[in-house]
Structure 1
């Protein structure tokens, strides 16, 4: 099975349109992928889908200010 790496321009366009994407690291590192969903598109259904199918940690990146709120 061949894998395909998308052009960054395509990934940015998908993200702007609310599409999740998989971000992979180097073969000589962890060699894993993370499902990324822009926060404004992170619906309960998408989070549930990640929990059911990806079966890993679900993380959230927020600013220090937002964390203090």
Structure 2
């Protein structure tokens, strides 16, 4: 179910491009494409180089029951 919602949001957001002025689309499309590709490349490299790993720190709290 969450995948369907995400897919619907993706489709709805792309349908709004019809309502934008063509000048704005032409003006900002190269920047949007570049930033998307940059994020994609960094994400791929982070998995290969393991730079973005999450380490969960667990802290055990000792409590005294009186």
TM-score range normalised by the length of the shorter chain: under 0.3
| TM-score of the pair, normalised by structure 1 | 0.23
Bigger strand share: 1
Richer in helix (by share) = 2
- Structure with larger RCO (C-alpha < 8 A, sep 6+): 1
Q: TM-score, normalised by structure 2?
A: 0.24
